A and B are shown apart, each in its own frame.
Chain A
Amino acid sequence: MKNSILLIFLIVLVSSCAKDSDLTTDQANFTRIYDNNKFDASNYPIDIKQTSDGGFLILGGRRLTDSNFSGAYLMKVDQLGMFVSELEVPSDKVTPIGPLLVVNDKYYFFTMTAIGLKTELHEVNADAAITKTIPVVGDGGGGYPAAAYNDNGRFLLLRYDNVRKETVVDVVNTAGVTSSFIGFSVGRSDAVEAPIIEHFLRTGKQFPFQVGKTSSGNYFFNGFYNYTFSLVFTDLVSDQPGVVQGQQDDGGFSYLMPISGNSFAAARFNFGDNYLLPLVTLNPSDISSSVDLGGNNLPELANNAPVRIISATVNGKDLSLYGSNTRSKQISLYGYEKTTGKFLGSRYLGFSNPYEITAMTATKDGGLAVCGTTYVAGRFPRICLFKISREELAKSFK
């Protein structure tokens, strides 16, 4: 009898110790919203990178009271998504652009000066502290940075030159020196320039400016060219580029991720509609129209929704993982097999308060971090971060 009683007590005790939280579980999945209790605080993320300590560095923008442009903001969170530190970059640095560019464990991003409108390059450590600010010299110092790309340690800087009325691609090194550049006319018309300036002031449509390089060595940018928001291929020398035209400022590509050769995972917008093209081949030396490319029309997406695409490995498959915003104010994720474009599944993040995507990054543990903006209490824009584990991704994208 005594042994039986002891056995019962032992069984209950052992069964009670099996499911405590641990660090691995806690950092596998989480949702965080970084709140500021001031009415007028308005931060929005631009890009996120996982740091070597497992935490995350977030580059953002913030509303300024003494400038029409947005200021820069940096935040460090740990591997659990817990807030560590923030930096409100002084308001003389405006219009920060992403992505965060990583060279030798240092992080870089561009802004421009509020007075003089000159481009600057900021070097940041993994703790969200600016360690160096470098004025960009040469053509790249001309202001209005719109997008950037890390080309093996040198940076491609896409910017709008408001004097020459050109979209310019500058090649800038980590010392801020411009080694080469090429400009393409946007067209000499106030009607063309107005939406560009409104983009920088954040008073109008936010255009998906992008610059990058294909695996076959072609450079490309997504920006204004010849009166139209277009995808332009360039060798950084010739002034006769290949172009995939949009529809003035009402159509064009939302995002492109080179896959191989001239193949891309892409998304495009056209008069509010959104089309996902999980595997599309583009001609880098011809002139064509994005309207002719078709694609999967997703009526659930918000008008001219921003789209992000990253490579991820889920269930042993290479995916093109799309992130966008739905009309129901959720963040939507869509997975497509990278080499075939086959649809593998979708997932939705957020509820009740509006959620909007800004950036995604695959994490070292095989999961995914999605950074965006939510409107706390339906009104205060705040940065949010979703961490999704490898196992959860495997359930969503089979």
Chain B
Amino acid sequence: MIACCLALTAQGQGKKRAANFNASKTKANANQFIEQQWWLGFKSGINWAQADPLKRYTILLPTNYSSSAVEKKYDAFQEIGIQTTVEISYYYKGFYFSTQPGYISSTFTYSNQLQWVNPTVSNEKLTQTYRQSQKVEYAEFPFIIKYDITGSKLRPYVQVGVFYSILLNAVKTVSVSSLDEAAGGTNTITSEPLIVGVKDLFSNYGGWMGGVGASYQLGNVRLVLDASYRQSLSNIVNPQNRFANDRLSGIGDAQDDLNLKNVVISAGVLFPLRYLSSNFKSNDR
């Protein structure tokens, strides 16, 4: 909505300016337009996240078996998150210098398993599976350089950039399921998930991103579809508060130091902000 209002405002200003142009300058301006332009738009889409442990932490320490048996296993790009951004880009000779502030919500998952056995009756055992789903929400402030590979109506592009993410919220959901084979039979027990606010457990972080996309000229606007890969350049976890949450410590969860990766797909629309009139189309003529 905001983007549309801005576009209409820009369009009105463009009309006033266009009325003052004299015919002799038209060609020169058109050429200038081709070389540089401001674009404003918005994009939304979905993302998949994966967390990679930089340094592992655990509460449960085995004394008579290998610690690898209780190690957390991180799922790769399994849960879907959403993101929405406002894009402000300056185009100059095929390059876009773009900032795309927005909101991104990502969910990554991991699990670990514990097992206890009766040494005298080997088929008597208890297996517990802890499944953790971690949702993190950030306000993102990227700076991106895009390059149009071709200048046709359909313009594929490549992009690379950096971003800084400010933590808005974080929620962890822990589900525990047990397979009890020690009570005279086989019993599967699933408890209600524990949902804990864990904003203190995470922090702001910076990262880099790269990707590909394409825009399609439709009248004066461009429809955009792009895909990018993002990765934090540092630990996203606040180490000061790793053990601060008694609810998580109590059930044996300590957050590893993490590197966050996202695969992001977004679609949107861009509006030109300069020379927008019936005489000057935003696409090159």
Contact = CB atoms under 8 A, between A and B. Distances in A.
B250 A15 contact: no
Interface in A7-21: 8-9, 11-13, 15-21
A16 B232 contact: yes
A310 interface: no
B257 A33 contact: no
A81 B58 CA distance: 10
Interface centre among B60, B114, B244, B246 (most CB of A within 10 A): B246
A84 B119 CA distance: 24
Contacts of B102: none
B143 interface: yes
A96 B279 CA distance: 95
Contacts of A13: 162, 206, 233
Interface stretch (A216-224, A256-264, A344-352): A344-352
Contacts of B6: none
Nearest to A331: B246
Contact of B128 (A9, A33, A86, A377): A377
Interface-central residue, A20, A330, A353, by most chain B CB under 10 Å: A20
Interface string A332-355: 000000000000000011111101
A137 to B, nearest CB: 35
Interface in B222-242: 232-235, 238-240, 242
Contact of B119 (A17, A39, A350, A379): A39
Interface stretch (A22-30, A97-105, A271-279, A300-308): A22-30
Given A20-B239, A352-B250, A377-B178, A83 B257 contact: no
B163 to A, nearest CB: 7
B74 interface: no
A52 B7 CA distance: 69
Nearest to A354: B250
Interface string B77-111: 00000000000000000000100000000000000
A12 B239 contact: no
A377 B116 contact: yes
A351 B178 contact: no
A15 B203 CA distance: 11
Contacts of B218: none
B233 A25 contact: no
**Chain A: interface size category:** 35 or more
A36 B63 contact: yes
Nearest to A82: B61
A19 B61 contact: no
Nearest to B238: A19
Interface string A124-167: 00000000000000000000000000000000000000000000
Contacts of B212: none
Please indicate which of the listed interface residues A1, A16, A32 has the most CB atoms of chain B within 10 Å of its own CB. Answer: A16
B205 A33 contact: no
B251 interface: yes
A5 interface: yes
B261 to A, nearest CB: 14
B235 A33 contact: no
B257 A16 contact: no
Interface string B200-227: 0001111110000000000000000000
Interface in B97-152: 97, 114-120, 124-126, 128, 143, 145
A15 B206 contact: yes
Nearest to A9: B162
A32 B116 contact: no
Contacts of A83: 61-63
B182 interface: yes
Interface string A377-398: 1011000000000001000000
Given A5-B145, A12-B207, A355-B250, A35 B118 contact: no
A286 interface: no
B243 A19 contact: no
Contacts of B240: 25, 29
A355 B59 CA distance: 14
A222 B176 CA distance: 44
Contact of A34 (B63, B208, B249, B254): B63
A34 B70 CA distance: 12
A226 interface: no
B4 interface: no
B163 A348 contact: no
Interface string B151-182: 00000000000111000000000000010001
Contacts of A9: 143, 162
Given A16-B207, A37-B115, A38-B117, A376 B235 contact: no
Interface in A61-113: 75, 81-83, 86
B203 A377 contact: no
Contacts of B163: 12
A352 B251 contact: yes
A31 interface: yes
> Closest 5 CB pairs between A and B?
A351-B250, A16-B234, A16-B206, A16-B233, A12-B206
Given A1-B97, A37-B116, 10 more contacts: A16-B205, A21-B235, A25-B239, A29-B244, A30-B254, A35-B61, A39-B125, A39-B126, A40-B120, A351-B247
14 contacts: A12-B143, A12-B207, A16-B233, A21-B257, A35-B60, A37-B115, A38-B116, A39-B118, A40-B119, A351-B246, A351-B249, A352-B251, A376-B60, A377-B178
